[in-house]
């Protein structure tokens, strides 16, 4: 995937592109490029990662049979509005995956894409701010093509596109399709169309209208998922007229 310009159909996302055979983390490399002045829409991809991380510094296993990339955004708005970019990214990824009929990708808040009842893709958003000013956002995306090289414990909960569809997937084509879906979602959000995006999230949500338990740093919160707040936080109906707005946490469906 040294070059993608022959398949790329975006206007700005991925026009500045860098590919590495192996990196510690595409997010880390993208951060270094951002600090050196890389433009909005820069994309960094790698064949494998040796020290990738997920949300809350969890290990993200990234063998060669996957698609691992990060992108750089420099939106002209507040860090508060940037908080919803993980939700926007999830919608964009699902749009890109629509090119693969039968995959049935769904979003599990806050940052996972599921297919066939298992985790297919993870998203990690990081931002640099200073005195309430947003400098840039880096978004890492990891997609499993196959689960064959994943540890056996992870294989039980992970899904791979090739295994789900029963066909070989071209990484470059997949990346370009994802970037096109992502760019369309980002442009909508930048243009103030978050209501439309959040409505699409609800349609694609794995947990919408479900009874869940959310494990947060402050303890467990139980309720029915009723949608997203304007910041992209999870809204729960706890019954008896009570509600909760969840900024971050791990979601589990009630048995």
- What is the CB neighbour count within 10 angstroms for residue 41? 21
So what's the pLDDT on residue 132? Answer: 85
Confidence of residue 65 (pLDDT cuts 50, 70, 90): confident
Give the span between the Cα atoms of 226 and 42, in whole angstroms.
35
Confidence of residue 107 (pLDDT cuts 50, 70, 90): very high
So what's the pLDDT on residue 59? Answer: 59
What is the pLDDT averaged over residues 156-174?
Answer: 93
So what's the pLDDT on residue 148? Answer: 85
So what's the pLDDT on residue 103? Answer: 92
Give the span between the Cα atoms of 142 and 87, in whole angstroms.
15
Q: Is the pLDDT of residue 93 over 90?
A: yes
The tens digit of pLDDT for each residue in 182-239 reads 999 999 999 999 999 999 999 999 999 999 999 998 899 999 999 999 889 999 999 8
So what's the pLDDT on residue 245? Answer: 93
Residue 86 tokens, joined: 């993980």
Confidence of residue 57 (pLDDT cuts 50, 70, 90): low
pLDDT cut 90: percent of the chain above it: 73
Give the span between the Cα atoms of 74 and 60, in whole angstroms.
25
So what's the pLDDT on residue 52? Answer: 62
Give the span between the Cα atoms of 233 and 253, in whole angstroms.
17
So what's the pLDDT on residue 41? Answer: 98
Q: Is the pLDDT of residue 55 over 90?
A: no
Q: What are phi and psi of 195, to 5 degrees?
A: -60, -45
What is the pLDDT averaged over residues 81-109?
Answer: 95
Angle between helices 171-190 and 85-97 (to 10 degrees): 140
Q: Is the pLDDT of residue 60 over 60?
A: no
Confidence of residue 67 (pLDDT cuts 50, 70, 90): very high
What is the pLDDT averaged over residues 124-149?
Answer: 92
First to last CA, the chain: 43
Hey, what domains does the chain have and what are their CATH numbers? 17-204 (3.30.930.10), 211-253 (2.30.30)
Does the global pTM surpass 0.85?
yes
Confidence of residue 131 (pLDDT cuts 50, 70, 90): confident
The tens digit of pLDDT for each residue in 18-41 reads 999 888 889 999 999 999 999 999
């Amino acid at each position: 995937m040294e070059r993608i310009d022959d398949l790329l159909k975006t206007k700005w996302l991925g026009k500045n592109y860098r590919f590495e055979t192996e990196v510690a983390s595409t997010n880390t490399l993208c951060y270094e490029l951002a600090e050196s002045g890389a433009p909005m829409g820069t994309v960094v991809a790698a064949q494998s990662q040796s020290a990738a991380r997920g949300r809350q510094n969890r290990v993200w296993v990234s063998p060669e049979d996957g698609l691992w990339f990060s992108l750089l955004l420099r939106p002209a708005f507040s860090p508060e509005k940037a908080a919803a970019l993980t939700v926007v990214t999830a919608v964009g990824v699902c749009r890109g995956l629509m090119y693969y009929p039968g995959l049935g990708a769904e979003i599990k808040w806050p940052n996972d894409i599921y297919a066939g009842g298992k985790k297919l893709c993870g998203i990690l958003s990081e931002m640099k701010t200073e005195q309430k000013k947003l400098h840039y956002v880096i978004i890492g995306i990891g997609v499993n093509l196959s689960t064959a090289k994943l540890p056996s414990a992870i294989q039980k909960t992970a899904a791979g596109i090739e295994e789900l569809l029963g066909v070989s997937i071209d990484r470059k084509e997949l990346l370009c399709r994802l970037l096109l879906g992502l760019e369309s979602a980002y442009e909508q959000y930048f243009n103030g169309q978050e209501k439309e995006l959040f409505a699409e999230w609800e349609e694609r949500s794995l947990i919408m209208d479900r009874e869940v338990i959310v494990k947060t740093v402050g303890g467990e919160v139980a309720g029915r998922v009723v949608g997203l707040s304007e910041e992209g936080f999870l809204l729960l109906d706890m019954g008896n007229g009570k509600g909760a707005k969840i900024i971050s946490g791990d979601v589990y469906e009630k048995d």
